[in-house]
Chains A and B, each alone.
Chain A
């Protein structure tokens, strides 16, 4: 028997000017989620059930970039993705391109437990969600006013954001080609090989 342990995260790359009350909100949500996990672990719930339980809680709260409060695509829509892995026997499940599933991590769990595959995406994943009867919402449910504003800023800066940075416009020459599109303040060509 070992002692249990739990860690949660709400994303990396934080705006250094994040207002104190937003920082406090984030800490309260993280503490709330830790306590949900701790209570479950004290009741001998298995690790894979605990990670699903905690991530569901984080997806439902719009504060972080997942589920409700997800980042928006260039079209202003939400496309969510998730995965789960059980260290025992290294079983795993993953989903991508979800537009209506309220808790993507639970659909990933169903892919692991109830399908012969380990990854389903886009229309196949949405079809599987209906077969499994998981809770679904209109795409609008996942879109928050904050993120609509962030998307507008990102478009004005013609960049893709993984965090708060809105790089100044101004294009660097690189790889012999002018690359207007930037990702995280770097010319997209840095990622071009990928």
Chain B
């Protein structure tokens, strides 16, 4: 699975996710990536793209949860990401990337590594795999 989340200089957020799904999956299986609110979500507040165990991400409506805890619990972006990764996945394993309309970027995962990269206009740039 691959994904991208972006906030532009006018504060507009967007997200996109694309995948081949699970190796050895049943034909016809739908994962989280195409499900809005599960693998992909964007609104005025943030943009989110998820990856990992699709069935767990779907049950958690993981991408929408990030926006929800920002809206209803008033959490900042990284706190919202940490919260949903910690409290919404049950035994599932997943990771996600997110941006906010304040120009912030964040990511989180509870599995073994995640291929990710992030950058902000003030010059910050990071590419990583492990913790």
Contacts and interface: CB of A to CB of B under 8 A. Distances in A.
A4 B7 contact: yes
B104 interface: yes
Interface in B18-41: 18-31, 33-36, 39-41
Contacts of B82: none
Pick from B2, B7, B22 the residue with the most CB of A within 10 Å: B2
Given A13-B52, A71-B20, A161-B23, A3 B122 contact: yes
A66 B13 CA distance: 23
A41 B99 CA distance: 14
B12 A87 contact: yes
Interface in A10-24: 10-16, 18, 23
A92 B25 CA distance: 26
B71 interface: no
Given A7-B99, A162-B52, A54 B4 contact: yes
A82 to B, nearest CB: 4
A64 B2 contact: yes
Contacts of A84: 14-16, 40
Interface string A33-67: 11001100100111110111011001100001111
A5 B118 contact: yes
Interface string B51-74: 111110011000000000000000
Interface in B97-131: 97-107, 109, 111-122, 125, 127-130
Contact of A37 (B6, B39, B41): B6
Q: How large is the interface on B (under 10, 10 to 19, 20 to 34, 35 or more residues)?
A: 35 or more
Given A9-B107, A64-B1, A95-B34, A73 B27 contact: yes
Interface of B: 1-31, 33-36, 39-47, 49, 51-55, 58-59, 91, 93-107, 109, 111-122, 125, 127-130
Interface of A: 1-16, 18, 23, 26-27, 30-31, 33-34, 37-38, 41, 44-48, 50-52, 54-55, 58-59, 64-67, 69-75, 77-88, 90, 92, 94-97, 104-105, 108, 118-119, 121-122, 142, 147, 150-151, 154-155, 159-163, 183-184, 186, 190-191, 194
29 contacts: A1-B11, A3-B103, A5-B103, A6-B6, A7-B5, A9-B3, A9-B96, A10-B116, A12-B1, A14-B113, A14-B114, A27-B128, A31-B117, A33-B4, A34-B125, A41-B121, A50-B14, A51-B15, A55-B17, A58-B4, A64-B1, A71-B19, A71-B23, A82-B17, A83-B40, A85-B47, A87-B13, A87-B47, A119-B34
Given A37-B6, A154-B24, 18 more contacts: A2-B7, A14-B115, A27-B127, A30-B127, A48-B12, A55-B2, A55-B4, A65-B1, A67-B20, A71-B19, A72-B23, A73-B27, A74-B26, A83-B39, A90-B43, A92-B40, A162-B52, A194-B55
